[in-house]
């Protein structure tokens, strides 16, 4: 019937489209990061590499799954990273307001995923206030 889940237990057309969008966007982002010059700050460069490595791992792990399970794996990965972010933040000084930094970084990533315009040769942080995990330059 219209609106029901597909009979074969496979991903719906929406789930497949969402997964394919994730995959295309992730590949583009990883490729851009690999060709982007370093920030000049070894810590920020390390954090950018960690982000790229983690995103690459997410793509690889999802792609290794049966086609019917790829969307489900991709949609559950944020929970793992949220848990990790909470674990790491719990070891930071409260004076550094770790929860606020985690939430700002999460919202930045959410907004970054919403960008649908094609890459036109530069980073989209036109005001310079985002990127590098909430640090201003």
State pLDDT tens for residues 85-123.
999 999 999 898 988 999 999 999 888 888 754 444 444
Which residue range forms the structural domain that includes residue 29?
13-115
In a domain, 97, yes or no: yes
For the chain, percent of residues with pLDDT exceeding 70? 78
Encode 82-103: b = buried (16+ Cβ within 10 Å), e = exposed. eeebeeebeeeeeeeebeebbe
In a domain, 135, yes or no: no
On whether the pTM is more than 0.85, the answer is no
**How many domains, in total, are found in the chain?**
1
In a domain, 38, yes or no: yes
In a domain, 131, yes or no: no
């Amino acid at each position: 019937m219209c609106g029901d889940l597909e009979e074969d237990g496979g991903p719906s057309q929406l789930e497949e489209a969402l997964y394919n969008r994730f995959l295309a966007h992730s590949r583009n982002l990883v490729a851009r990061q690999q060709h982007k010059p370093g920030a000049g700050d070894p810590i920020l460069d390390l954090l950018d590499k960690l982000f790229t490595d983690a995103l690459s791992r997410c793509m690889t792990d999802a792609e290794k799954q049966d086609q019917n399970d790829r969307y489900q794996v991709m949609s559950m990965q944020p929970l793992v990273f949220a848990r990790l972010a909470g674990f790491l933040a719990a070891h930071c000084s409260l004076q550094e307001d770790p929860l606020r930094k985690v939430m700002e970084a999460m919202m930045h990533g959410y907004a970054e995923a919403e960008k649908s315009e094609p890459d036109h040769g530069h980073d989209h942080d036109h005001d310079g206030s985002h990127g590098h995990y909430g640090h201003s330059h």
